[in-house]
Structure 1
Amino acid sequence: MPSQQVFNTKDGAVYTTSNGAPVAEPYAAEKVGPNGPLLLQDFHHIDLLAHFDRERIPERVVHAKGAGAHGYFEVTHDISDLSCAAIFNKVGNKARATVRWSTVGGESGSADTARDPRGFAVKLRTEEGNWDWVFNNTPVFFLRDPAKFPHFIHTQKRDPQTHLKDPDMFWDYLSQNPESMHQVMILFSDRGTPNGYHRQHGYSGHTFKFVKENGEFHYVQIHLRADGGFKTLTNEQAGQLAGSNPDYGIQELFNTIEKGEFPSWTVYVQTMTPEQAEKFRYNVLDLTKVWPHKEFPLRPVGKLVFNENVQNYFAEIEQSAFSPSHVVPGVEPSADPVLQSRLFSYPDTHRHRLGVNYQQLPVNSPIVPIANFQRDGPATFISQGARPNYQSTIQPLTYKKKAYAGVQHEVFLGSAQLDLIEVTELDFEQPRALWSKVFDDGAKERYVQNVAGHLGNVKSAEVKARQLSVFAAVDQGLSDRIAKAIGHPTVQPLKVKSANEARRFRADVGKFPELKARS
């Protein structure tokens, strides 16, 4: 029988069952006599076990390991000429923000210092709903064709037979898809191992559109520049920390904020008109390319500050759900096919991982009232009362209408989509610039050693040779240095179309009448 004294926790709360009944002894279980079997009537014990068996939700398929915090975004510069989003209608406007940084390929228990891109996802709670920035710490990615994404991620995971990470899988994919080279140059550089989650930049990567009230738009790329600079670890430092403190990034973030040293970022946009996009040397929809800053300078927008640690990691970070489809009026996705694919995939995985009402969870819930025709389902916290769940004339909802400018841009977009299919010399110009103009001698040597340390573990001579030919297409000297480091013969560059051929292809495609029908 339970005793008369009720157990109290450190914060003064009384220990209870899930239905709120106080419990005298948390470790007790009701039995028939001192040594008898357990009683099914002991709801406290059954409740404890039943919840324990269900207290893990599926981890994210990618971006499983991460850290987060809360803070705010403040508009510091007027960009109302670019977007009618309410957040931008006045300098000084603020929105509460939640961030989740993450590694991409590892499981939830993997090391924070792994050589991997980092996710940089921010939820802004605006007066027009939540706007999610689902960014990375690199301005480009490994692919521009969404059909390749599941295949690529599988090569970063574990082998189906051995259940081990496999360098042959990793490099087999990259060597067959040379458009990945720009990201590979960044990944195996010093920036591939950031020094903590909060000491790195963030980039939209994708092209978005900022839209005005009349429908006119600019293409934009959003940049989050860490005010303290992008800090990195050497390959050796990252490896040591992976063994001694795999949660280094989480710990550094928490301690930094606790000390009152709030990390901050300056937010910029690059802008491009549709006319400029049609004349741009590269494809505005290509996730493997950057926009040169000299041609499209950074324009300051605001400040992003994270000044509050979470009180409960699961509730506030693990249950947080970000999606590039969570936008507000004045912001729209571009026709970038990878972005278009993500618009579906992210909410779909949230519905699987968290449930159909994932946006009603406190960390995801907008600060504005919700009025729509969605009702019921598991974990319904917001039921919208007696309002009809159809387009009713009895209690009608009002609708915000948009105006769109008549721009003849569709043929270009269709051409640009087709232009993403083939690898050309254009795919090696920006990686070559990184190697020849950005990396100094020390960075070049570290890059060669970082690649050699990974590629050298590949068993397949064919995969090694193929990847070396991709490096040679960037720079023959780079390929030769890696070949020497892994004990492999030098190879000739991969053969691809010239930049002039690529431009002629883009121009010719627009002449096909069937393209206009498709677009």
Structure 2
Amino acid sequence: MTDQIPAGPLTTEAGAPVADNQHSQVAGVGGPVLIQDQHLIEKLAHFNRERVPERVVHARGAGAYGTFTVTADVTPYTRAAFLSEIGKETEVFLRFSTVAGNLGAADAVRDPRGFALKFYTEEGNYDLVGNNTPIFFIKDAIKFPDFIHTQKRDPYTGSQEPDNVWDFWGLSPESTHQVTWLFGDRGIPASYRHMNGYGSHTFQWTNAAGEAFWVKYHFKTDQGIRNLTAEEAAVLAGQDPDSHQRDLRVSIENGDFPSWTVQAQIMPVADAPTYRFNPFDLTKVWPHADYPPIEIGRLELNRNPRNVFAEVEQSIFSPHHFVPGIGPSPDNMLQGRLFAYGDAHRYRVGINADQLPVNRPHATEARTHGRDGHAYDGRHGGAKNYEPNSFGGPAQTDQPLWAATTVSGVTGDHPAPSHAEDDDYGQAGTLYRLMSEDEKERLIANLAGSIAQVSRDDIAERAIENFRRADEDYGKRLHAAVQALRG
């Protein structure tokens, strides 16, 4: 269902009636166009500015509104108000996306999917900015720009280059686990509805007594997992580049509302220092045998945006948007994202992006002393714009949102602390060995087809060696498959 502009005279942006929308004003019949044609100038100037800079990553996306409903008592772990009682509902907005593609790229491609969720809570907006994978390629944000440069267009060729992709992955063994996931069966979801979502990072929950816990989020699709083979995806991407966006929109229009069962893994803070590997390492999962996921809620999407640009393209999600009872962990990737996402939105959409309808709080009111800047709407009127003040303006609460963490030592460029089972290959090998023989064959074929495109043997061999270290059979079969393709 689409909205309609009320019937009546067509007007300019300022509301003046338009006499002629078919012909420009000219200096006599057949003469040149006049600059005094205000309607023409306004239309062309507005048209030139109808796009904001696209996201550097996650540019290609779709979104929908819905509800999150609490299904279990988690008050022993967090004091977040939106999680305070069973049955409580919170409005949400969820944006799905691919990572590497441009705004006009196809949906059905081999790429991680963004799973960015905004909870409009009574204590402010809580943004959980995750992916459809529980892990990632790197573990420190300082490597993120380099990684994304390898996934984007080469500065000389203007195309994505296999040399760049595999050179970086081969020189970054920590990526082995995520690359195994990406080139496996779940690397190309059949739709946004038929994939899981994950918070991916480790976060902190704090209860009313001030006790802290580490937590990981899982969103398990109630539609079931469905994926595309490389061959199916190649056909679909050519026939319908908008396949995933269309599927999401149409399913909601038809009342077939997609949903996810929401789970959490919870680790007592005291467990972290001696856990068998670094629990804040984004390239690793917490085995379910160690910390079984518990159901905490249900997510349903049930309303489409009315305007894709206003509500999907201009939507912003920042990992630093926490609420009381939820906070960050020492995950180096998360720490970097706390700055980078907000900074990207201030550049891309503007300093007042948080006050656009899709981004502003829906269940409470933002009370800040920030003023002015591009697209400021004057909402503060003549109120004082500083704190402290004696005129009754908003003031600090003196109540931290999350629990403090202990730090010690000398500042510097330190690697993460080492745990007993920290390595870059173990979990990738475990994932490979969990696959069926058919799954292994498809994984090897997908990887070999990509690695075989690199131009240098040393890049190919170094990449293969990482998989060999994960599992001897894995590397052996991949080496043979690449050799067969490279002749």
Q: Same fold (TM over 0.5)?
A: yes
1:36 Cα deviation after fit: 2.0
**Cα distance change of structure 1 residues 423 and 405 upon mapping to structure 2, 3 Å threshold:** closer
**Cα distance change of structure 1 residues 169 and 242 upon mapping to structure 2, 3 Å threshold:** same
Letter in 2 for 1:302: G
Among 211, 225, 235, the residue aligned to 2:220: 225
Among 337, 341, 357, the residue aligned to 1:342: 337
1:404 Cα deviation after fit: 9.4
Q: Deviations over 1:51-98 (max 9, x none)?
A: 111111100000011111111111121111111111112222211111
TM-align CA RMSD: 2.4
Q: Deviations over 1:244-281 (max 9, x none)?
A: 11111111111111111000011111100111112211
Q: Within 1, Cα distance between the matches of 2:144 and 2:39? A: 46
1:422 Cα deviation after fit: 11
User: For residues 2-151 of structure 1, what are the structure 2 equivalents within 5 Å?
Assistant: 12=7, 14-151=9-146
**Cα distance change of structure 1 residues 454 and 406 upon mapping to structure 2, 3 Å threshold:** closer
1:365 Cα deviation after fit: 0.8
Q: Within 2, Cα distance between the matches of 1:482 and 1:418? A: 31
1:29 Cα deviation after fit: 1.4
Letter in 1 for 2:106: A
Q: Deviations over 1:200-233 (max 9, x none)?
A: 1111111100112333210000111111122111
**Cα distance change of structure 1 residues 279 and 10 upon mapping to structure 2, 3 Å threshold:** closer
Letter in 2 for 1:25: D
1:265–1:305 contact (8 Å) kept in structure 2: yes
Partner of 1:394: 391
Q: Within 2, Cα distance between the matches of 1:28 and 1:196? A: 45
Q: Within 1, Cα distance between the matches of 2:355 and 2:402? A: 35
Give TM-score, length-normalised by structure 1.
0.88
2:203–2:215 contact (8 Å) kept in structure 1: yes
- Runs (5+) with no aligned partner, structure 1: 1-8, 490-519
User: For residues 319-330 of structure 1, what are the structure 2 equivalents within 5 Å?
Assistant: 319-330=314-325
User: For residues 331-480 of structure 1, what are the structure 2 equivalents within 5 Å?
Assistant: 331-367=326-362, 368-381=364-377, 383-391=379-387, 392-402=389-399, 409-410=406-407, 418-419=415-416, 426-436=423-433, 438-480=434-476
Q: Within 2, Cα distance between the matches of 1:322 and 1:407? A: 24
Q: Within 1, Cα distance between the matches of 2:402 and 2:370? A: 31
Q: Within 2, Cα distance between the matches of 1:419 and 1:131? A: 28
Partner of 1:509: none
1:142–1:184 contact (8 Å) kept in structure 2: yes
1:478 Cα deviation after fit: 1.2
2:212–2:403 contact (8 Å) kept in structure 1: no
Tell me, what secondary structure is at the counterpart of 1:419? coil
Partner of 1:310: 305
Percent of residue pairs bearing the same amino acid type? 43
**Cα distance change of structure 1 residues 56 and 416 upon mapping to structure 2, 3 Å threshold:** closer
1:406 Cα deviation after fit: 8.9
Among 211, 215, 218, the residue aligned to 2:210: 215
1:216–1:404 contact (8 Å) kept in structure 2: no
Q: Within 2, Cα distance between the matches of 1:412 and 1:260? A: 56
**Cα distance change of structure 1 residues 182 and 13 upon mapping to structure 2, 3 Å threshold:** farther
**Cα distance change of structure 1 residues 55 and 265 upon mapping to structure 2, 3 Å threshold:** same
Tell me, what secondary structure is at the counterpart of 1:426? coil
Q: Deviations over 1:342-375 (max 9, x none)?
A: 0000010101100100101111011222212101
Partner of 2:175: 180
Letter in 2 for 1:16: T
Q: Within 2, Cα distance between the matches of 1:209 and 1:249? A: 33
- Runs (5+) with no aligned partner, structure 2: none
Q: Within 1, Cα distance between the matches of 2:345 and 2:164? A: 28
The alignment status of 1:284 with 2:279, answered yes or no, reads yes
